[in-house]
Structure 1
């Protein structure tokens, strides 16, 4: 298998010189033939200086005994069995729908009605060596019509990461040119979302209005989530690399240039505010700075873009290093926990008085668990020891959040108490109980007796160390196992195999249904199993189970020295020297 990846990589580098992938009817394709109302004044070309040699991301060796190898393969098979059960149900009950409803055997259309689960699962099917199922899925994917949808509005970010990323990732592992053709179809559609006076994309896009080519309908938003405008770069750039057409790279690189110009102008220099004004090209105004929901992948794509382009552009490394430095100073903190683990959580920073005051909100999110893996990647690529050290503590923080919950599964959001400093972090039971009541809106805490404190805290049913759990759902999210996978590949730490297995079995235990796995609510409940909500987003098959499978796979399979993953876990090939 390792030999296959090396040979296959060489055959794809110059794919745009091969005419086999081109559709002879592509010029008449609706989205390509639609006139551009606001064409760019010039188109920036892809860099041509040649890829550089980065330091290796993956560990040098992964020694294992025959027993350990057999156990690893047994666990990998268990993950594959879980995937197969859900995939079979999708095929039977929700074929070509966006999602399967895994409790009621229903189906949902949440992402344009273009078979999100099918497209998100393509590269997983290939990686899991399910070739017959892959062939059936590709044949079905070729029938998807991206000129028709019942959705009134398209989320450009979600469409990019799931559909464009899904087709590109599946092509980059399989070499099936039908997938590249579908990627071009999606890319032509999404390019129209950039047809605005300032060439900034409309992130929540009225696709039907765009079809009419009405100038009044095509204006970028004045209130845009930074993740949704800053996380299109990998997929668009890879599409340009593969086709030789620089227009997609030009579209997203223009965004990156504007973000880089204003990165050090914000109230928290190095980080961008949660909401930006794409219409006025203002990326620096705002007072909330998070690494989590609605901002996360804008940071995730910085070192990954550098790797994807083979280090040919300094801009992405520079932006990453600025952001990492700011996050280390303002967002990452050590929480007070009863067992004294030296871990880190990524919180939210709020500024006031023009940035002169910065206040930390010590809130954790499952989504932000991606940041440990990101800093491990950035630490390796750019030889930043401080980032890699923080990465290990961030991953350990998410592991702590999992194992501390009664069902062994981390909630969507939670609060903890930040230590006064990383060195001064002794557990204080009274301080913890007092903060529990404050975070749960109990007034006049100081007037309560110790016995009253104990009684009220007991009623909250909070694991020790947590001060509040605003959202106790688990939505089948992948971010924790994603970072464990990256850290394992970077270090070879054997203990992470057991950690990953314990996470997988805990998740499967509370989410498994007869037909797949369901998101749940109530992971902090001590009374029975959490409530299944009959939702199985496409990322369960496209991301979560893929990362679990890869943790237990041979490290040469999708090597991090050959690939980078987009935020939907689709592996894109890096340019290598």
Structure 2
């Protein structure tokens, strides 16, 4: 972006000071001072940010192209209830982020070098997407081909918008906004549209980019996607469908809710729909999703593991209690993730939003008591791992299997600890985050597997540490020899040895850094970043790898998920950037790492 050109230096200085103190702020920094394009955002204190002013007169004038079908014209036969109304903005909440002091010059230089390294990887990946897969859903980083698995609406492009803004890549951002303006959400490359993925990647991505930049095109397109998803609530019982029959949804005659779905699907709409109501002033989105979450709230303590919900639920029968498998990992993860985050966004003053605080405390207590365990390891690291629980005739049984997807839970507990002012949650969150970091450093590639098993410490409380027992580890490992025979001490399987560019572990490391200010978390992030980039780098961008149990990660897979730029690289970048950037006191991040703005708070 062009800079202000002022003839008199003194006048410029006075004007800069005035702007810095007078203008509305974004992430704690005035709009005009917030990152210029080109080399990325500065990793410096606010005294230096004036050098990176944006000239608002040079923001491109981009007008949204109307899609071939207007989703707001659909007459819904089964109109969802229009109450409750959106709660009033939250006026105060507990402080989340650590009170940071400026780094010493030596430390600041080191972090700047790290930030630039992440920026370089991101620019390379984005350039490859732009050249080989522009307006397509995902890049194939080995062949230079592309795939359209999310309805053909340029998933990587939309998913990456806020990353481009956060990293100060303004030219790339506005080029992408111009492309987004032309996306036709009235057409789809698939017969059905995945509600969950469309919500977290497209709607979340558009809202976050709007919240950061204020560009009206992004708001307009977010409303289009929101109205498309709202048509998925056009059902007999007002529960959302898992897959929207695209052409039938346009008719408004009604959709049929699936009998069985993973609980994360209906449980992961709250943040995006609530924020859409906030930015449009239309409560219909909030009302629709509040009705869904009432079902989970009313039956939370009636399940086989009271306080949590089974992995599979039936929204058609409104049955969220019958299943026997419980996890905070895949298939259920973001159902739990969104509860404390909805509390942060909506507060508890309104009766309709109070449920999120109640559900948060209840599930967090239940998971701490039943799912977390201290693995038997040769060292003395104080870590926790999250497993799975089956509840059959003999009661709850803890299975010490975990997965990369579960690694978000450390950051969530830390966040919940601050929001709910509960130090036990924060302590558990730190141990869970260290558990995933331990898994990363344990494997020869420096990365953890998609899914793995460990030996849980014996005794009445599996969360207590124990003495290393080589013979017990060998016995447990030999029971599972089909899942690799060359494993680090303490691990008994690498059931799925891939690393597919996932963000959950670095997500927790980032949140622990921002909450505690402890330097160990930035060092952990850098160690992880170096290992991941070394293993996944291709001539074009980055690719998933097949086997983290071997040096270098084994063979590469010709696929780069949109969340590589949208989440993983964004979290690495934020670990090394200025801590005012996407402050946890000003934003809550959805499950795709899209920052949604919180109402003004007092801290």
Is residue 7 from structure 1 mapped to residue 31 from structure 2 by the alignment?
A: no
Q: Identify if the C-alpha distance between structure 1 residues 101 and 55 changes in structure 2 by more than 3 Å, giving closer, same or farther.
A: same
Is residue 175 from structure 1 mapped to residue 214 from structure 2 by the alignment?
A: yes
Output the CA distance in 2 between the equivalents of 1:25 and 1:119: 16
Contact 1:27/1:33 (8 A) holds in 2: no
**Alignment partner, residue 561 of structure 1:** 585
Aligned pairs for 1:353-368 within 5 A:
353=393, 357-368=395-406
Is residue 473 from structure 1 mapped to residue 498 from structure 2 by the alignment?
A: yes
Output the CA distance in 1 between the equivalents of 2:467 and 2:527: 28
Shift in Å at residue 175 of structure 1? Answer: 0.7
Give the TM-score normalised by structure 1.
0.91
Contact 2:27/2:583 (8 A) holds in 1: no
Shift in Å at residue 9 of structure 1? Answer: 7.4
SS in 1 for 2:146: strand
Is residue 316 from structure 1 mapped to residue 350 from structure 2 by the alignment?
A: no
Contact 1:226/1:275 (8 A) holds in 2: yes
Is residue 199 from structure 1 mapped to residue 217 from structure 2 by the alignment?
A: no
Find the partner of 1:224 among 240, 261, 279. 261
Is residue 429 from structure 1 mapped to residue 429 from structure 2 by the alignment?
A: no
Is residue 59 from structure 1 mapped to residue 101 from structure 2 by the alignment?
A: no
Is residue 379 from structure 1 mapped to residue 413 from structure 2 by the alignment?
A: no
**Alignment partner, residue 544 of structure 1:** 568
**Alignment partner, residue 86 of structure 1:** 125
Find the partner of 1:344 among 384, 388, 392. 384
Find the partner of 1:515 among 526, 540, 543. 540
* RMSD value, Cα: 2.2
**Alignment partner, residue 258 of structure 1:** 295
Find the partner of 1:482 among 493, 507, 529. 507
Contact 2:444/2:548 (8 A) holds in 1: yes
Structure 2, unpaired ranges of 5+: 1-18, 32-60
Output the CA distance in 2 between the equivalents of 1:63 and 1:188: 44
Find the partner of 1:237 among 274, 279, 290. 274
Q: Identify if the C-alpha distance between structure 1 residues 114 and 395 changes in structure 2 by more than 3 Å, giving closer, same or farther.
A: same
Q: Deviations over 1:484-539 (max 9, x none)?
A: 0000000001121111111001000010001100011011125x641110110100
Output the CA distance in 2 between the equivalents of 1:552 and 1:419: 35
Could you tell which deviates more after superposition, 274-283 or 32-41?
Answer: 32-41
Q: Identify if the C-alpha distance between structure 1 residues 185 and 423 changes in structure 2 by more than 3 Å, giving closer, same or farther.
A: closer
SS in 2 for 1:419: coil
Output the CA distance in 2 between the equivalents of 1:235 and 1:488: 25
Find the partner of 2:182 among 143, 165, 182. 143
Find the partner of 1:282 among 298, 311, 319. 319
**Alignment partner, residue 408 of structure 1:** 446
Contact 2:410/2:430 (8 A) holds in 1: yes
**Alignment partner, residue 118 of structure 1:** 157
Q: Identify if the C-alpha distance between structure 1 residues 121 and 24 changes in structure 2 by more than 3 Å, giving closer, same or farther.
A: closer
Instruction: For CA contacts below 8 A with separation 6 or more, give which structure has more relative contact order.
Output: 1
Q: Identify if the C-alpha distance between structure 1 residues 179 and 189 changes in structure 2 by more than 3 Å, giving closer, same or farther.
A: same
Is residue 439 from structure 1 mapped to residue 495 from structure 2 by the alignment?
A: no
SS in 1 for 2:266: helix
Give the TM-score normalised by structure 2.
0.87
Output the CA distance in 2 between the equivalents of 1:521 and 1:3: 51
Shift in Å at residue 424 of structure 1? Answer: 4.9
SS in 2 for 1:273: coil
**Alignment partner, residue 447 of structure 1:** none
Shift in Å at residue 24 of structure 1? Answer: 11
Could you tell which deviates more after superposition, 338-347 or 260-269?
Answer: 338-347
Contact 1:519/1:535 (8 A) holds in 2: yes
**Alignment partner, residue 134 of structure 1:** 173
Structure 1, unpaired ranges of 5+: 13-20, 443-458
**Alignment partner, residue 341 of structure 2:** 304
Shift in Å at residue 211 of structure 1? Answer: 2.6
Output the CA distance in 2 between the equivalents of 1:66 and 1:141: 41
Is residue 464 from structure 1 mapped to residue 505 from structure 2 by the alignment?
A: no
Output the CA distance in 2 between the equivalents of 1:88 and 1:250: 41
SS in 2 for 1:359: strand
SS in 2 for 1:358: strand
**Alignment partner, residue 497 of structure 1:** 522
Q: Identify if the C-alpha distance between structure 1 residues 311 and 3 changes in structure 2 by more than 3 Å, giving closer, same or farther.
A: farther
Contact 2:139/2:145 (8 A) holds in 1: yes
Contact 1:310/1:574 (8 A) holds in 2: no
SS in 2 for 1:460: coil
